[in-house]
Structure 1
Amino acid sequence: MNVNHLRYFVRLAALQNYTQAAKSLHITQPTLTSAIHTLEKELNTQFFYKTGRNVKLTLNGELFAQKVTQSLTILDAGIASLYPNNTHQDQITLVTIPALNAVWLPKMISEFKNTSAGKNVAFSFISDTTLSLNLLNNLRDNQYDICFASKINGYPDINFTPIAQEELVVITPLGHPLSTATSLTIEDLLPYDQVSYSKRSGLAPIIASLYQEYGWQPKSKYQVDDDLAVAGLVANNLGVAIVPKRLALATQKLCIVPLVTNGPRRLIYLCTSKRHTLNTAANAFIQFISEKEIAILQ
C-alpha cells in the first residue's frame, strides 16, 4: 500500500473536492483520481460518493479516514524522532465543518505556509462528523489541536474566536406560495410548516434566536442534523427552511429567497481547548487567523 496514496486519501477526505485536493497536494486531478481508485481496489471497498461537484465519505470511508489520519500522525512523529537534530515539520491537527473546507481554509493554510512561521508546518486533517457539538466534544478530548465550528453554550473550557460568517436565506419547494417572493421576513414564515435543525446542530440556536422577538417557534415537523437532509426534505415539499446561503446552491430543485432580518448571521469560530497545550506552530497559525478580518462566505 502506497503511503502517498494514503496522504492523498486523507486530504480528499478533508476537502471533499477533487480539484481542491489535487491543487493543495500539487498534483494533477487524474493522478489523485487514479490513486483513490487504486486504494479502493486494493481494499475492495468504496470510500467516496459524488454529491454534485463534491464528494462525501461513505461509512467505510469515514472509519478508514480516522484510522489513516491517526496512523500517519504516528508515522510522521516516528520519522521525526529519528532525526532530532534536523529541521522537521511541526504538526497541526485540525478539523472543520464543510462551510470552510472548499475555499477559505485551504486559502488560509496556503497563505500561512508562505510566512516564515508556517514554512515548516504540516497540517493533518481529521475526517470527522460535521456536527459542531461532536467536534467540540472531540476537541475537549484532545483529538485535534484546532476545530472550526459553530459556538455552542456550555463549553467554558473552550476558546471561541469568530473568523467567518455566512448569510442565511430561505429555501422553499418549487411552486410554494413563498417561492416567488423577492425577499422574506421571519414573520412571513410563521404560517408555514418548516424543516429545522436539531438541537445537536450549531445552527439550531442561531435560527431559534431569529424567532424570539415574535415569541414563537417554527412549525417544524422535521428536525434533522445534516444540511443536505434539510435541503432534501424541502425539495420534496415537506416544508420551508432557513439555511446558510452556501447550502442553498447545493440543489436546483429549490427556490432561494433572501431573508431580511436584523438578527445574526451564522458565525463560524476557531475553537481551541483551554486544557490542551498547543505547539508553537499551532499558536502561530491561530495568531495568523485571528489577525484576519472576519470572512464573509459566499
Structure 2
Amino acid sequence: MNLSQLNYFKKLAEVLHYTRAAQELFITQPTLSGAISSLEKELGAPLFERNGRSVLLTPYGEVFYEHVYLALRAIDDGVAAVSARSSASFGTVNLGTTFTTQDHYLPSLIRDFEEAFDKRVIVKVFQGFTNYLTEQLHRGALDVAFCGKRDNEPDIAYFPVKHYELALYVRDDHPLASADAITFAELNAVDLHTYRRGTPIGERVAKMLEEADVRGASLGYDDDVSMGSFLSYSGGNAGALMLDSLGAQLFGNLHQVRVEGVPEHFYTVYMAHHKKHVHSRAVTDFIDFVKAHPGNDLIGQVLPEAVAE
C-alpha cells in the first residue's frame, strides 16, 4: 500500500460516498474504486459495504480507519514541524467560525492579516457550530476556530477576542418595540424563542432563564441567523432572546429591547486551537496576529468566570 491509497481510504471513510469522495480528491471514481479494491485485497478483509448509493465502514474498516487517521496526522505534524522552522510564512490556515463572528469582525481580521503577510498565507474559512468546530480541532481538520468555550477541554487553548450583548428582539410592529427595557417577568408574556441546550450559548441562556423564573421559552435554535430569519417573518407575539450579532443585523424590521438583569458582555467568542498539534509557521503567525489585533474587544482584559463561556 502507498500514501495515496491511505489518503483515498481516509476520505471515503469520512464522506461514505464514492462519487463525492472522488470529486473532493480530484480523481476519477474508477481510480478510487481500484485503490480501495487493492487495499482490501492486500489486507485480506472488506473495508466497506454498499448501502444504496453510499457505503458504510465494515468493522474491519472502522479499526483500519483509526490507525490510518493517526498515521496521516503524524505525517501532517511532521510537515508542519518542518514548515514552522522556515524563515518565511506561507501556506494555508484552515479556519472554522460560528455565524456570530461573521459580522464586521472576521472579514476585517482576515483582510488585515492577508495585507500584513502580502497574501502569502491563504485563509480558508469553514462554518459550523461550536461543538462541531471543537471536534474538528481535535481531528486536525481545522487549525483555528472562532467559537464559544466548551467545558472539559484541557487540550484546547482558548483566547478571548470578542464579546456580544444578549437582548430581546421583536419585530417593529410588536407591542414591545417601543420599550427601551423590560424585566424578566415581562418576558413571560412573550412567545419567546432562543438558543437550544447542548451548546455553550444555549446552556448559559437556559440557566439564566431558570434562575429568573422565565418559563415556556422555546429552546430550539443553533444560530443567530436562523433565529433572526424566523422572527423577521413571524407576526403576533413572537420575540427572540439572542446576541447582537449578524442574525440581528441582517433583518431591518427587528428592534432591540434591553432586558434588565442580563449580565453585560453576556457572551464571549474565543479563538481556539489545539495545544498538542504541531502548527505550521503560517498558523502560528495567524494565532499571534489575532492576539495582537486592535479589533479585539478584550485585549489586556481578564474575564471573570461568570462571563468566560
Task: Give the shorter-chain TM-score range.
Answer: 0.5 to 0.7
Q: Which residue of 148, 153, 157 corresponds with 2:146?
A: 148
Residues 170-204 of structure 1 deviation map (CA, whole Å, 9 limit, x = unaligned): 11244434222112343431343311211244421
Rounded to whole Å, the distance in 2 between the matches of 1:261 and 1:67 is 49
Tell me the TM-score normalized by structure 1: 0.61
Rounded to whole Å, the distance in 1 between the matches of 2:109 and 2:171 is 36
Q: Which residue of 2 aligns with 1:210?
A: 208
Q: Which residue of 1 aligns with 2:297?
A: 295
Rounded to whole Å, the distance in 2 between the matches of 1:168 and 1:259 is 8
Q: 5 Å matches for 1:65-214?
A: 67=24, 89-115=90-116, 118-119=117-118, 121-129=120-128, 131-211=129-209, 213-214=211-212
Rounded to whole Å, the distance in 2 between the matches of 1:188 and 1:68 is 55
Report sequence identity in percent: 20
Q: Which amino acid aligns with 1:255?
A: H
Is 1:250 the counterpart of 2:250 in the alignment? yes
Residues 48-89 of structure 1 deviation map (CA, whole Å, 9 limit, x = unaligned): xxxxxxxxxxxxxxx89x9499xxxxxxxxxxxxxxx99782
Rounded to whole Å, the distance in 1 between the matches of 2:126 and 2:25 is 10
Is 1:223 the counterpart of 2:220 in the alignment? yes
Q: Which amino acid aligns with 1:224?
A: Y
SS of the equivalent of 1:153 reads coil
Rounded to whole Å, the distance in 2 between the matches of 1:87 and 1:174 is 53
Q: Which amino acid aligns with 1:242?
A: L
CA contact (8 A) 2:171 2:253 kept: yes
Q: Which amino acid aligns with 1:196?
A: T
Rounded to whole Å, the distance in 1 between the matches of 2:215 and 2:251 is 23
Higher CA-based Rg: 2
Q: Which residue of 2 aligns with 1:273?
A: 274
Tell me the TM-score normalized by structure 2: 0.59
Kindly report the root-mean-square deviation, in angstroms, between the aligned alpha carbons of the 2 structures.
3.4
Rounded to whole Å, the distance in 1 between the matches of 2:254 and 2:118 is 44
Cα offset, 1:162, TM superposition: 0.5
SS of the equivalent of 2:122 reads strand
Rounded to whole Å, the distance in 1 between the matches of 2:255 and 2:88 is 54
Rounded to whole Å, the distance in 2 between the matches of 1:162 and 1:133 is 17
Q: Which amino acid aligns with 1:269?
A: Y
Q: Which residue of 2 aligns with 1:12?
A: none
Rounded to whole Å, the distance in 1 between the matches of 2:25 and 2:183 is 46
CA contact (8 A) 1:192 1:219 kept: no
CA contact (8 A) 1:92 1:121 kept: no
CA contact (8 A) 2:224 2:248 kept: no
Cα offset, 1:256, TM superposition: 2.3
Give the unaligned 5+ runs of structure 2: 1-19, 27-85, 299-309
SS of the equivalent of 2:96 reads strand
CA contact (8 A) 1:148 1:270 kept: yes
Question: How many correspondences in the alignment?
Answer: 216
Q: Which amino acid aligns with 1:161?
A: F
CA contact (8 A) 1:94 1:123 kept: no
CA contact (8 A) 1:93 1:146 kept: yes
Rounded to whole Å, the distance in 2 between the matches of 1:99 and 1:271 is 15
Q: Which amino acid aligns with 1:295?
A: D
Rounded to whole Å, the distance in 1 between the matches of 2:183 and 2:217 is 17
Rounded to whole Å, the distance in 2 between the matches of 1:107 and 1:68 is 32
Assess, with a 3 A threshold, how the Cα gap between structure 1 residues 143 and 155 changes in structure 2: closer, same or farther: same
Cα offset, 1:156, TM superposition: 2.3
SS of the equivalent of 2:101 reads helix
Assess, with a 3 A threshold, how the Cα gap between structure 1 residues 141 and 174 changes in structure 2: closer, same or farther: same
Q: 5 Å matches for 1:56-71?
A: 67=24
